[in-house]
Amino acid sequence: MPDPTSSNTNEELNTAKQVNLDNVGALNREQLTPQAAAEPQGHDVAGHDHAPAEGKPAGHDHHDHSHAGHSHDSGELDLDEEEEHDHDHGPAGANPYLLPGISLVLLLVGLALDHYQAGFFTGYVRPAWYGLAFVLVGWNVVKAAVLSIPSGNVFNEFLLMSLATIGAFAIGEYPEGVAVMLFYTVGELFQDAAVNRAKRSIKALLEIQATEVTVVRGGKNLVIDPKAVQVGDIMEIRPGEKVALDGTLNATAASFNTAALTGESAPQTKQPGEAVLAGMINLESLVQVTVTAGFQDTKLSKILAMVQDAVGRKAKTQQFITRFAKVYTPIVVGLATLLVLVPLLVVHDYVFRDWLYRALVFLVISCPCALVVSIPLGYFGGIGAASKAGILFKGSNFLDVLREIDTVVMDKTGTLTKGVFAVQQVQPAPGTEPAQLLRLVGALETKSTHPIARAVVAHVGEAVAGVAVENVEEIAGHGLRGRVDGRDVLAGNTKLLSKFNVGYPTEVDQVADSIVVAAIDGKYAGYLTVADAPKEDAAQAVRELKADGITKLVMLSGDKDSIVQRVAKELGITEAHGGLLPEDKARYVQQYLSEGRKLAFVGDGVNDAPVVALADVGIAMGGLGSDATIETADVVIQTDHPSKIATARRIARATHNVVWQNIWLAFAVKAVVLALGAGGLATMWEAVFADVGVALLAILNAVRIQRMKF
């Protein structure tokens, strides 16, 4: 809700209040009333530069927001459980529809008495009757208009509505004055409902944070606040409970519902040592998790900070409307004044009352409610729809930019592929049994922590149990040498075999994948290929992006070029480059940008962070991605599915279409009714439709985004 005493009300109409995670819901009803305008109270939140460190947005310096009267609270993220309405329509805790309802009854009864010309309904009774109906709904608006004057913020919607309705009373048009203010207030209530609907998907994120956690200290179970838990503590999580903090699973495997974080309904099974994130729900048995991140450093806290900060970053369209409103409002007040004064000089049978009525109609019509409310609400709806799909936009401006891109550059490992090595092929030498090769090589690889070695051990499984391994030597850049089950075994790359003068077939050098070559007792025994498999939806992502108008699709990777080219061919990507360092990736992206392309880069590793920052839109894979890349990115895909890139573009396009539909609707209707009002052909009733009616239509259109299927 904007502060009428502030000098930048129009900006506040479109800008969200940033909420400190520690203070969610801290504002009470008293701080949301006009009285608070004199004593600004709000969340002083430090700024946010694409990196919500420790769960707190930083980079946007917001003024304290005081609250007065009616306002378009299109962006404010007041997520207190009991404070759904941000407009002060009556006493603290009162039903916000009560006073407008009484006013409506008084208006309808008054109109009936006028129609039947009741004898008592004359003299002071009639204006007093309508005056009471007016005060019930108009007092806060008039008060807000008055409070805004000392700060110089004169030309706002409060002033327009106050002048028009009080002017109507001054010329005896009591029912119309009440009707304008009543419908304006009802419009505000509908706007509240629409905004609250748009907030629900984001509010749901807040509700997945656990409010207490059980930790094991000194052999005792203590139930404490998650903020008091330290890294290294052991959490105990019962079936059905939410995980409060990030950690690693102890002892046994367990299944977790991750839908709140990823949008995926299928449960995930975590093995001991694997990461378990805050917001997941334990499904089956009692488990223990070792805490690896404090409350403010969990991925969930950072996600919440990103989403809350998102509504404060304006799109170009919103910035245009903010600038437009600052110029538009004083112009229409000036035109309304001229509409009263100029005819005095040129019209022969000039009647002051008639021309004043036309000017008042002109003021009501010109109120920019539809634009000021529906445009931010449209973007807010887009961000909300994306968050439900597991896509987090850090600002509405990125919805616009993502829609305009024509080039998508993607990393390979962790972005298009699973980021997890697995044995793809076992090729024993003639005379060597596959099981024997796997058993001996797998046992030797248990002594290494290399990702490829772990992939081999995982593939072999229980077959290495009980196998004696001794005298192991790790030769840097080559592999392992050791004695396994009484036999001399070499396992590594071809350089290892050459070092020990073990001959091998020349075709082994032509294998594109990562390879583990083995020798047993000095003789070549075969090889295993280890590769990172493409994600299930990677090929679908490429097809959808091409169909969606992306004219250039590129894969850049630090992996071997032969592997990169194979994966690119498998997925249908026509341009790919491998063997790249981070600076090489940046050089390619700079080249594409210098060609005038609108570019999105998609990555997940720490080495991708500089390129993500360089692109027009940086997109990070949020599940497996590094914190540095996630914090640098403009869009975060929580599900790690590359096909969500095309989904994000569809959401961005739908949001853009709805926003511009609202803009043209508002301008077209207002232009027609303004012309009719200036010519004396439109009354206050048409003015009400042009203002409140169009605003409601625009809001209903904006809410459609939440119902769309992407």
Please, are residues 424 and 342 in contact by the beta-carbon 8 Å criterion? Answer: no
If you compute the radius of gyration of the chain from its CA atoms, what whole number of angstroms results?
33
Strands 599-603 and 407-410, by their bridges, are parallel
Q: Could you tell me if residue 273 is left (phi over 0), alpha (psi between -120 and 50 degrees) or otherwise beta? A: left
In angstroms, the CA 17 to CA 25 distance is: 12
Which residues, including other chains, have CB under 8 Å from residue 66's CB and lie 6 or more apart? 3, 5, 6, 36, 37, 38, 39, 40, 41, 42
Please, are residues 94 and 189 in contact by the beta-carbon 8 Å criterion? Answer: no
419-533 sits in which CATH class?
A: alpha beta
Using alpha carbons only, give the angle 118, 121, 123 rounded to the nearest 5 degrees: 135
CATH number of 230-293: 2.70.150.10
Question: In angstroms, what CA-CA distances link 176 with 110, 141, 366?
Answer: 11, 17, 17
In angstroms, the CA 96 to CA 189 distance is: 8
Q: Tell the CATH superfamily of the 394-417+534-648 domain.
A: HAD superfamily/HAD-like (3.40.50.1000)
* Helix ranges restricted to H, 41-124: 98-115
Positions in the chain whose pLDDT score sits under 70: 1-94, 155-156, 187, 190-209, 259-266, 302-326, 367-374, 605-607, 623-631, 691
Grouping H, G, I as helix, E, B as strand and the rest as coil, residue 503 is: coil
Q: Smallest Cα–Cα separation from 192: which of 706, 707, 703, 705?
A: 703
Q: Smallest Cα–Cα separation from 306: which of 52, 49, 573?
A: 52
Count of Cβ atoms closer than 10 Å to residue 321 Cβ = 25
In angstroms, the CA 4 to CA 65 distance is: 10
* pLDDT score at 333: 79
In angstroms, the CA 242 to CA 245 distance is: 9
Residue type, 367: C
Please, are residues 421 and 451 in contact by the beta-carbon 8 Å criterion? Answer: yes
DSSP state of 690: I
Q: Smallest Cα–Cα separation from 174: which of 117, 129, 143?
A: 129
Q: Smallest Cα–Cα separation from 435: which of 455, 406, 464, 407?
A: 464
In angstroms, the CA 361 to CA 180 distance is: 10
* pLDDT score at 524: 95
Count of Cβ atoms closer than 10 Å to residue 237 Cβ = 25
The two tokens of residue 64 are 């304290």
In angstroms, the CA 416 to CA 642 distance is: 7
In angstroms, the CA 675 to CA 706 distance is: 35
Please, are residues 93 and 116 in contact by the beta-carbon 8 Å criterion? Answer: no
Q: Which residues are catalytic?
A: 411
Half-sphere exposure for 423 (CA within 13 Å, toward CB): 19
Question: In angstroms, what CA-CA distances link 375 with 368, 372, 382, 401?
Answer: 11, 6, 11, 16
* pLDDT score at 627: 60
Which residues, including other chains, have CB under 8 Å from residue 600's CB and lie 6 or more apart? 402, 405, 407, 408, 409, 615, 616, 617, 618, 619, 645
In angstroms, the CA 697 to CA 666 distance is: 9
Question: In angstroms, what CA-CA distances link 446 with 304, 308, 425, 473, 500?
Answer: 40, 46, 19, 12, 22
Grouping H, G, I as helix, E, B as strand and the rest as coil, residue 620 is: strand
In angstroms, the CA 687 to CA 636 distance is: 44
Query: What single string gives the DSSP state of each residue in 264-296?
Result: --S-EEE-TTSEE-TT-EE-SS-EEEEE-S-GG
Please, are residues 508 and 514 in contact by the beta-carbon 8 Å criterion? Answer: no
